[in-house]
Amino acid sequence: MKMPVAPARIVFIGAGNMTTALVKGLFSQDIMLHNIMVASPRIDQQHPLCQQCEVQTTRDNVVAAEQADILILAVKPQVLQSVASGIRSVLQQRQPLVISLAAGVRIKTLVSWLGENIPIVRSMPNLPVTLQAGMISLYADSMVTSDLRGQAESLFSSVGVILWAQSEEMLDIVTAVSGSGPGYVFLMQEAMEEAARHLGIDAASARLLTTQTFLGAAQMAASGTLSPADLRAQVCSPGGTTEAGIQAFQQRQVKTVFREAIDSAWRRALELAQ
Ligand SMILES: NC(=O)c1ccc[n+]([C@@H]2O[C@H](COP(=O)([O-])OP(=O)(O)OC[C@H]3O[C@@H](n4cnc5c(N)ncnc54)[C@H](OP(=O)(O)O)[C@@H]3O)[C@@H](O)[C@H]2O)c1
């Protein structure tokens, strides 16, 4: 008789925004219940995760790492080196799949902190993972087998859509596009709201009009095969209102502004990775 395979023990180091989003995502899909452990220096039963999801907790990173099949480094980049050094010897013995969420910390650096021979995946999620509507780019080092890639994918697919990066450098570009992207969208919404209010619309109505416009437009882009340029052509009748608005954007060279903005974010991602 075939013995049932025990589900992987997933350990999160850090109990902040990203851990909360991922754990909630996993629970929403009923994946591997009872097999999640969260380690953080001040975690207790009052933590929202303990209230909402059945997770085991510890304040000791080593205790957590000793049980990990998949270990997710979900602490801020500033504390990552000391966290990684503290669990290095346990990880060397156990060799779990390590997934780092830390922006800008290269695999080469992670290897210098954790030691060789550990399969490492880097991920760049964005904030909508908190609503299970995230965009997550993943990059795997050469130690990561296709089976481990599958495990990383099933974890992140609970909170969004996944794109595998072909190179680690691509993650810096992803950071500037989809990582920072929600910020650009909020800026556009803010500007559209202000323009609506300037013309006399109340704040609540301006919020509703702009939010639903972004949602609906994104759904149109996601649901069909038309490019954004084709979709724009569809809503622009010659001599109409949309065309008048778009001409004003084009006079201000809005595409150049976006190119410069994303270029600046990318350069900043490179600087932070130094
Ligand atoms: N938030 C985003 O939109 C986003 C997007 C992309 C990538 N990321 C990356 O995801 C990672 C986590 O971000 P986050 O937003 O979840 O951060 P966060 O909310 O600040 O959470 C960090 C967690 O780490 C805990 N912590 C601090 N020192 C620790 C230690 N020595 N050992 C174990 N846990 C420790 C903190 O505990 P205390 O609060 O008690 O100090 C907190 O629970 C970061 O590397 C970030 O770059 C975040």
Average pLDDT over residues 52-69: 93
Q: In this predicted structure, what is the pLDDT of residue 181?
A: 97
What is the C-alpha to C-alpha distance for residues 259 and 264, in angstroms, rounded to an integer? 9
Question: Any idea where the domains of the chain sit in the sequence?
Answer: 10-174, 181-273
Nearest residue by C-alpha to atom 43 in ligand 1:
15
Q: Is the pLDDT of residue 2 over 70?
A: no
Cα 264 to ligand 1 centre (Å):
25
Tell whether ligand 1 has an atom less than 6 A from the beta carbon of residue 13.
yes
Q: In this predicted structure, what is the pLDDT of residue 46?
A: 83
Region of 94 (left: φ > 0; alpha: ψ -120 to 50; beta: rest) is alpha
Q: In this predicted structure, what is the pLDDT of residue 31?
A: 60
Q: Is the pLDDT of residue 43 over 60?
A: yes
At 161, list the tokens.
């859509």
Per-residue pLDDT reduced to its tens digit, 242-260:
999 999 999 999 999 999 9
The pair phi, psi for residue 99, each rounded to 5°, is: -120, 120
Nearest residue by C-alpha to atom 6 in ligand 1:
125
Q: In this predicted structure, what is the pLDDT of residue 30?
A: 67
Tell whether ligand 1 has an atom less than 6 A from the beta carbon of residue 14.
yes
Predicted confidence band of residue 122 (pLDDT cuts 50, 70, 90): very high
Cα 84 to ligand 1 centre (Å):
14
Predicted confidence band of residue 273 (pLDDT cuts 50, 70, 90): confident
Tell whether ligand 1 has an atom less than 6 A from the beta carbon of residue 114.
no
- CATH superfamily name and code, 10-174: NAD(P)-binding Rossmann-like Domain (3.40.50.720)
Mutation pick for ligand 1 pocket among 18, 90, 178, 272 (CB with most ligand atoms within 8 Å): 18
Q: In this predicted structure, what is the pLDDT of residue 3?
A: 45
Predicted confidence band of residue 1 (pLDDT cuts 50, 70, 90): very low
Which class would CATH give 181-273?
mainly alpha
